[in-house]
Amino acid sequence: MTEDLRHPFFDLISKFGADLSLPKVDVDKLVEVQRKNIDALGRAAQSAGDGAQALAAKQREILETTFRETTQAFHDFKPAGNPADVAVKQSEFAKKAFQATLQNTRDLAELAKKAAGDPATIIKDRMRETLRELRDLLSRPSGAAKA
């Protein structure tokens, strides 16, 4: 009895869609589009995780190098002798530290840019593909949807 009621309902919906000239949708293709979207999100998440790991590793490397070089510089620095020579050594140390800081900042900025940009690019590219796939799916003639 329930089955008898469902057939007229589905027939009514199908007729309604046909009357509105709605395109027929290939459900398998639609599922495939969503599978690709989920895959892209997974790749984006993996890329973000890899970027965060690379950034943390670089920060650790910078910290270790800075600590080692600063310790060595203080060990080697002996402020004896002419005050002008001491000032020159201090100036050289400050200049070297400043240049290292600038380079480290550039390196970290580049890693952060890549860590944020790669996942965004993956998602942006997938969004473009999804829109193209959906447009192609919906623009097929009604008889070609289940080819």
15 occurs within a structural domain: no
What is the DSSP code string of 97-113? HHHHHHHHHHHHHHHHH
Count CB-CB contacts under 10 A for residue 47: 20
- Is 12 domain-assigned? no
Q: 62-88: per-residue pLDDT in tens? A: 999 988 988 887 787 777 778 888 888
Q: Does residue 126 lie in a domain region?
A: yes
| 88 assigned to some structural domain | yes
Q: What does the DSSP 8-state code read for residue 36?
A: H
Give the chain's domain count: 1
pTM equals: 0.63
Q: Specify if 102 maps to a domain.
A: yes
| Amino acid occupying residue 119 | P
Does 17 reside within a domain?
no
5 inside domain: no
Range of 140's domain? 24-144
CB-CB contact of 72 with 144 (8 Å): no
In a domain, 101, yes or no: yes
pLDDT in tens, 28-63: 888 888 999 999 999 999 999 999 999 999 999 999
